[in-house]
Amino acid sequence: MNNELVTRFLKYVSFDTQSSEENEGQCPSTPKQMAIAEYLRDELKALGMQDVEMDAHGYVYATLPANTTRPVPTIGFISHYDTSPDCSGANVQPRIIHQYDGEDILLNEAQQVWTRVNQFPELKDHIGEDLIVTDGTTLLGADDKAGISEIVTAMTYLQQHPEIEHGCIRIAFNPDEEIGAGAHLFDVEKFGCQWAYTMDGGEVGELEYENFNASAAKFHIQGRNVHPGYAKGKMKSAMLIAADLIQTMPAQETPALTEGYEGFYHLIGMTGSVEEATLSYIIRDHDAVQMAQRKQKVLEVANRMNAKYGEGTVEVNINDQYRNMKEQLEDKMHIIRIAEEAITQACGFCRVVPIRGGTDGAQLSFRGLPCPNIFAGGLNFHGRNEFVPIQSMEKAMMTVVNICAITANKQ
């Protein structure tokens, strides 16, 4: 077991870094994220990294200088430190299960919280490995503190092994990826890389350079409240209209019923009263044409509700979030080939899969920084059943090392 890697990860998850969609326009979206940014800045300085900088928004940058005089492209590695708004990240209490036996895992006896094999069959792929799990009350934070741990530990590994030739390596850690804003204030010019990799994927051995096109849709429903004793013919319940709207959306096109390249509509939030209600959806599809059709479907649903309940009852706003990075990488496949070789060296195989989500790399790719995504090893993100095998983290860390060496040797 790489104790340095594990110790680093356990330290990072002790920080509560949950981001929030409620603070639109504020970066970081939650002030508490700055605590880990400051810690990372100080840690990188103590490790002897160069050009260490944290900006006013909590973006942390650093450099590992080249140890060769040969011309080698400057490449980068990026991870985010915020955790999902979907589940608490406060007071995370991780536990290591050594040599996992393949059985159900009791996370919290008092609350009877289990990670059961029949619900999470991927557990069977990690029998005999050492799993870091939660105590059943919070998420773990492997998304994406595992990625940060792997990148930092890879940098120390390269420092300790000067026989491994590498060019200039840039690393960066950022806030607010979980709310789609992680790349918004990322300084691509300052980062100064020809290409980069986000360490933000899941299962060991996976490489991703296709992701969803993504939009958010928010329905506002205006009702009319009247005393219920005198409401006949007058009251218009926004909550009941919201329920009708939900039933009008395609029932089979939700995250729980789709996989692979299949897109979906995902209801992520709802608030309401008789007077007014709000429904928040995210919309996802790999195909740009089908994505446009999905957005049109949302507009049609709003029009249908207005035809039924009266004009002005439902308003909907659709905001694009990110696009499929494949558009930007198809003519730069050498970046993918290097990653495939590095992952294969570390894991014995490489599996290229589409991302059923997005990463900061998707946005960065459209801002001139080609940036595919590499596994970080964690599974069941955004909930209390999240876990990460230590062996997967070790392989991810070595993948970073291998990419640096392969990039230098191909020049």
Catalytic residue among 43, 82, 206, 285: 82
C-alpha distances in Å from residue 331, one per residue of 77, 285, 317: 21, 22, 34
Instruction: Please state the φ and ψ torsions of residue 271, each to the nearest 5 degrees.
Output: -135, 155
Strand partners, 267: 281
Contact 347, 339 (CB under 8 A): no
Residue 143: which of 323, 17, 265 has the closest Cα?
Answer: 17
339 CB contacts (<8 Å, ≥6 apart)? Answer: 197, 207, 350, 372, 374, 399, 403
Rounded-to-integer distance, Cα 133 and Cα 139, Å: 9
Q: Are 28 and 34 in contact (CB under 8 A)?
A: yes
**Which of the residues 176, 177, 208, 394 is marked catalytic?**
177
**CA dist., res. 393 & res. 144, Å (int):** 11
Reference 280, options 212, 213, 219; nearest CA is 219
177 is catalytic: yes
Decide if 285 is catalytic: no
26 and 179 Cβ atoms separated by less than 8 Å: no
Among candidate residues 128, 147, 141, the one with its CA nearest the CA of residue 375: 147
Phi-psi region of 88 (alpha: psi -120 to 50; beta: other; left: phi over 0): beta
- In eight-state DSSP terms, residue 112 is T
User: Running DSSP on this structure, what letter comes out for residue 83?
Assistant: B
Q: What dihedral do alpha carbons 13, 205, 404, 410 form, nearest 10°?
A: -170
CB 84 within 8 A of CB 139: yes
Catalytically active residues, by annotation: 82, 177
